[in-house]
Structure formats: structure tokens, C-alpha cells
């Protein structure tokens, strides 16, 4: 059963979609390692446009510039678990940006979790 509420830490990793780790997409390796580490979850978001340290703008609007679009991998879990995962990101991310933000999780339930029963007004039944 996966539940997470209250104070948490969000790590966001910005890389290029063509960045690789041992011939696999880097974002995929990060997600699989986060899963193996037992983190609450990870999502990958493909950017439509952006630039980084190289100052080269990548955009999906022009075919000639649509290569290596930005990708953001977002992971949220307890601060302890996220910080324990950071050494793996140090190993994987040779170019890119990694940010940490404190956040508050209002509700996170895994698919197998059953939310508490509610009456029609959204209040918990007793």
C-alpha cells in the first residue's frame, strides 16, 4: 500500500531527450532506478521548447530545431528517501540540472489503496 501525505521533497531533473546511459534513454534509467529504490513515484515530461547551459533553443515548432527536446523527470517522496537517492543522480546526470523543492503532499494513494468511504458531501463516514 503506497501512501504519502504531508511534508515531502520534490526532485526535478532536467536533461535532453536524447541523453543516454549505456545506450538507453537517461530519463528511463532514472525512472527505473527510482522504482528500484522504492520511491513513491516518478514521471517524465517532454518539453515543447527550452534551452539550457548551451543557450541553444530547442523547439518542437521547427523541424530543424526539434532534436533533443528538454525532458523533466519529477520525483516526490519523503526528504530522507529523496536525499538517499541523490548519489544515483550524481552518477547518471553528467549534463543537465537537478533541483530540490520542499512541497506538501495533500493526497497520494496507489491504485490498490481504497480511499475512506465518504457521504455525498465528501465527509468521511463513521
pTM of the full structure? 0.78
pLDDT tens-digit profile of 37-79?
Answer: 999 999 999 988 877 777 677 776 655 555 678 899 999 999 9
Q: List pLDDT tens digits, range 88-112.
A: 999 999 999 999 999 999 987 766 6
Q: How are beta strands 24-25 and 20-21 bridged, if at all? A: antiparallel
Question: Is 62 exposed, middle or buried (CB count within 10 Å of its CB: 0-12, 13-18, 19+)?
Answer: exposed
Amino acid at each position: 500500500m503506497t501512501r504519502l501525505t504531508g511534508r515531502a521533497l520534490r526532485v526535478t531533473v532536467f536533461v535532453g531527450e536524447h541523453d543516454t546511459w549505456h545506450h538507453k534513454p537517461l530519463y528511463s534509467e532514472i525512472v527505473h532506478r527510482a522504482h528500484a529504490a522504492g520511491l513513491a513515484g516518478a514521471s517524465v515530461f517532454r518539453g515543447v521548447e527550452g534551452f539550457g547551459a548551451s543557450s541553444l533553443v530547442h523547439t518542437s515548432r521547427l523541424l530543424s530545431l526539434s532534436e533533443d527536446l528538454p525532458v523533466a523527470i519529477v520525483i516526490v517522496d519523503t526528504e530522507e528517501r529523496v536525499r538517499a537517492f541523490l548519489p544515483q543522480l550524481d552518477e547518471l546526470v553528467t549534463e543537465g540540472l537537478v533541483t530540490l523543492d520542499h512541497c506538501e503532499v495533500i493526497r497520494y494513494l496507489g491504485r490498490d489503496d481504497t480511499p475512506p468511504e465518504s457521504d455525498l458531501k465528501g465527509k468521511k463516514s463513521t
